[in-house]
Amino acid sequence: MASFSRFCRIFAGAQMFRGLVPVARTAVLLLAVAATAGAQQYPNTSFNYTTEMNEAVTHLWDQLLFWATIVFVIVEIGILYIVFKFKARPNSPDPKHVHGNTALEIAWTAIPAVILAFIAVPTVKTIFMTQAKAPANALQVEVIGHQWWWEFRYPQYGITTATELYLPVGRPVNFKLNTKDVLHSFWIPRLGGKRDLISNRTNYLWMTPRDSMAMKSLNGSCNEYCGSSHANMKFRAFTVTPEQFASWAAHQRGPAVYGAVTPQSVPAATPAAAGAAATTRSGQIGAALADAAAPAPVGFIFPREKLDPSSLPSATPPSSIGFTAGLAGDAERGQKVYSRSSCIGCHKVSGNPMSAGVIGPNLTHFGSRYSLGGSLYENTTENLVRWIKNAPAMKPGSLMPAIGNGEYNPAIKAKVTMGGLSDQQIADVAAYLQALK
Ligand code: HEC
Ligand SMILES: [Cu+2]
């Protein structure tokens, strides 16, 4: 006790704490600002009431914070009381020396034990809730982690896609989590419930996005370090109405509009007519599609203007990847180049029987996605041609090889020669891929 009261005296007399006053004042101010700002400013906050899982966890957190605040206040009052009560005063005698205090020691063991038991009850309840089996009517989504991109399969609909996840509101979604390689961790913070993807094991995670969540673009990411492009392994979840989901799913399960109509659609008429068809298809693919597409053959696609500003990637390609300016891509030609290049060994495009690879993302509806490369780049022609030319230079460690003629391919530690593509061929392939709506 002697040393304790000496400690109190030192503590109370210390001048060093004076310096902390402005720091504390700033901290309180920042906390107040953070508390008043809405979720808009924090697109990745997980303290929401957007799903039942999220609500359970947020509620648990609120509860614990409430009780912890009470404990904090009581402890702080005790400390301040001791500090001022036993403060050193001129001529005060040395305090009484004691050794041990059984009552005090039992109290400071028992009280935390009771507090822990108190915390354990709601915590264990929440753990059981978040580990429960999904309802039978749940939408099944198989999530497959790859270094460094996310594959999503909807077995009930026969859909395989990548990076962009469409979720209907009001229906439970059951994520079946597997990895093709190393550990990853799946998380859409706004919906809550992060969970690991573990090799040779299947984990599940389910939740029901509330109706109020319709038409939101939510960020998702990998949260378990998985190698050089871990930080570039992102994805996006679109919460949509059941009708929008049905429209999206009906279209995504089949081949793309473009993929389905080629090559038969090319009129085998005069060379002049064929040339005209090719020109319509070149460059402005969107316009060509719009012509042909009066009753919206492309299913629902999440509207660009509803994208959260935080969900569009803003990375720009490294300047080391040059590309001939002003080349117009031709989708028709691009399809032919694509179908006899190495691409088909790694990528699948339904409706193109040549392209059945499963190593890379399924490209069947690539043109309807906003981003590429695990959401590292926006899906623009400028980014896409450079990606095809030299993916490893676009994304560290990328398992897609460099394909542009003369580019350095780290996989074979040499420049690309055999099977490499020219800038014109790449522009054509890009036009083909972007036509795959
Ligand atoms: C050895 C296998 C392999 C070959 C060959 C290959 N790719 Fe890829 N590709 C991948 C992998 C793996 C990814 C994912 C890379 C990442 O995001 O980290 C990918 C990603 C892509 C993407 C981005 C897709 C998305 O949704 O993010 C496009 C587009 C693409 N490849 C086109 C092509 C084209 C065109 C060719 C042929 C010229 C080609 N690939 C050849 C493996 C391959
Ligand atoms: Cu990771």
Which tens digit of pLDDT belongs to each residue from 148-172?
999 999 999 999 999 999 999 999 9
Q: Are 189 and 237 in contact (CB under 8 A)?
A: no
Percent of the residues in the chain that have a pLDDT greater than 70, as a whole number: 82
User: Where in the chain do CATH 1.10.287.90 domains reside?
Assistant: 2-131
Q: Does domain 2-131 have CATH number 1.10.287.90?
A: yes
Distance of alpha carbon 185 from the chain centroid: 10
pLDDT confidence of residue 11:
41
Lowest mean pLDDT among 6-15, 31-40, 85-94: 6-15
Q: Give residue 246 CA to ligand 2 midpoint distance, Å.
A: 31
Q: Give residue 221 CA to ligand 1 midpoint distance, Å.
A: 20
Q: Give residue 327 CA to ligand 1 midpoint distance, Å.
A: 21
226 CB near ligand 1 (under 6 Å): no
Ligand closest to CA 398: 1
Q: Are 367 and 334 in contact (CB under 8 A)?
A: no
pLDDT confidence of residue 27:
65
d(CA 417, CA 406): 6
Q: Does domain 139-252 have CATH number 2.40.30.10?
A: no
Q: Is 87 exposed, middle or buried (CB count within 10 Å of its CB: 0-12, 13-18, 19+)?
A: middle
pLDDT confidence of residue 150:
97
Segments in 37-93 forming alpha helices (H): 52-85
359 CB near ligand 1 (under 6 Å): yes
Q: Are 54 and 207 in contact (CB under 8 A)?
A: yes
Per-residue pLDDT, averaged over 253-264, amounts to 65
Residue 25 predicted with pLDDT over 90: no
361 CB near ligand 1 (under 6 Å): yes
3-state secondary structure of 141: strand
Position of tokens 């009470």? Answer: 70
pLDDT confidence of residue 419:
82
Residue nearest to ligand 1 atom 17, measured at CA: 373
Q: Give residue 180 CA to ligand 2 midpoint distance, Å.
A: 12
Q: Which residues surround ligand 2, an ion (CB under 5 A)?
A: 184, 222, 226, 230, 233
pLDDT confidence of residue 32:
55
Q: Give residue 219 CA to ligand 1 midpoint distance, Å.
A: 22
Residue from 252, 253, 274 nearest 263 by CA: 274
* Mean pLDDT value across the chain: 85
Q: Are 405 and 340 in contact (CB under 8 A)?
A: no
CATH of domain 257-435: 1.10.760.10
Which of 343, 370, 407 to probe ligand 1 with, by most ligand atoms within 8 A of CB?
A: 343
372 CB near ligand 1 (under 6 Å): yes
Segments in 1-51 forming alpha helices (H): 2-13, 20-36
Residue from 207, 153, 148, 152 nearest 183 by CA: 148
**Prior bond of 263 cis (ω within 30°):** yes
Which of 344, 346, 424 to probe ligand 1 with, by most ligand atoms within 8 A of CB?
A: 346
Which of 164, 234, 347 to probe ligand 1 with, by most ligand atoms within 8 A of CB?
A: 347
Residue 278 predicted with pLDDT over 60: no
Which tens digit of pLDDT belongs to each residue from 293-345?
444 578 999 999 999 988 889 899 999 999 999 999 999 999 999 999 999 99
Closest-lying ligand 1 atom to the alpha carbon of residue 421: 38
Residue 415 predicted with pLDDT over 50: yes
Which of 359, 372, 400, 418 to probe ligand 1 with, by most ligand atoms within 8 A of CB?
A: 400
User: Where in the chain do CATH 2.60.40.420 domains reside?
Assistant: 139-252
Within 13 Å, how many C-alpha atoms sit on residue 125's CB side? Answer: 11
Which tens digit of pLDDT belongs to each residue from 344-370?
999 999 988 889 899 999 999 999 999
Q: Give residue 150 CA to ligand 1 midpoint distance, Å.
A: 13
399 CB near ligand 1 (under 6 Å): yes
> Which residues, at least 6 apart from 33, have a Cβ–Cβ distance to it below 8 Å?
none
Which of 36-40, 90-94, 114-118, 292-296 ranks highest by mean pLDDT? 114-118
Residue 22 predicted with pLDDT over 60: no
